[in-house]
Amino acid sequence: MPLIPEEPQIHESAQGPRATPATGRTASTPRPVPGPRTAAMPRPGRPGPGPARPAPPAQRPHPAPVRPKAAVPENRSAPQLQLIPAPADGALAAADEAVDLLLDSGRAPGDILVLTTGEQHPWATHELSFGEAAYWAQHEAGDDVFFAGAAAADRVKPRPVVIIAVNGAVDDAATRALATARRTAGALLIVCGDPQPVNAVLGAGV
């Protein structure tokens, strides 16, 4: 019996036919839909408002510049002048007596300076034997009567009362010592010596 060839059967797929996308086109990605913006949301690229800045400090009023006052010249009156007549060899004794009278009247020892135009006062000679440093240290301390010669008259400091004993010749050294005594005395200048040459020097504007 001859064999009859079977016809090929076509099996259909359970799924439908697939659609092949067109060549050269890709599927587009769906874009998100922007939602509504709120007022608090800042725009990109612009910073949001920063913290509030403090108010600047109130300016203080500047006081008006004070102009310096002009220096008023000191009205220093000349010291009172007292002359005690004494010969040259008695001028030291007269000066010592004047010191005693001043101390008895209540004047402080540190207020008194005694200068000599001739021979040194015995106190100065004694103190200088311990050296000039110790001698002038007593002058700097200013707590006792101080005696100095005419050669050191420019080194002494002013004191309220100056006594000068003209116990030598009234020469250039004595004239300079009298001038220094007048400048150094603050309130009282006592001159012990011969009145005639002393008045001649003092009257010449010493």
pLDDT tens for each residue of 14-27: 444 454 444 445 44
Cβ pair 162, 190 in contact under 8 A: yes
Output the CA angle 33-35-41, nearest 5 degrees: 135
Q: What is the pLDDT of residues 16-74, one digit of tens each?
A: 445 444 444 544 555 555 555 544 454 444 445 555 555 555 555 555 554 544 443 44
Residue 206 placed within a domain = no
- Tell me what the pLDDT averaged over the chain comes to: 76
Read off the CATH number of the domain in which 94 is found: 3.40.50.300
Tokens representing 96? 């010592």
Residue 183 placed within a domain = yes
Residue 148 placed within a domain = yes
Annotate 60-83 with b (16+ C-beta within 10 A) or e (fewer). Answer: eeeeeeeeeeeeeeeeeeebeeee
With 50 as the cut, is the pLDDT of residue 201 above it? yes
Number of neighbours of residue 156 by Cβ within 10 angstroms: 17
With 50 as the cut, is the pLDDT of residue 76 above it? yes
With 90 as the cut, is the pLDDT of residue 10 above it? no
Residue 57 placed within a domain = no
- Looking at residue 20, its pLDDT comes to 46
User: What average pLDDT does this structure show over 151-165?
Assistant: 93
Residue 49 placed within a domain = no
Residue 54 placed within a domain = no
Q: What is the pLDDT of residues 98-142, one digit of tens each?
A: 999 999 999 999 999 999 999 999 999 999 999 999 999 999 999
What is the span of the domain harbouring residue 143?
A: 88-193
- What's CA 173's distance to the chain center, in Å? 41
Residue 33 placed within a domain = no
Number of neighbours of residue 196 by Cβ within 10 angstroms: 9
Nearest partner of 114 among 161, 176, 180, judged by Cα: 161
Number of domains in the chain: 1
Nearest partner of 170 among 147, 128, 204, 145, judged by Cα: 204
pTM as predicted: 0.62
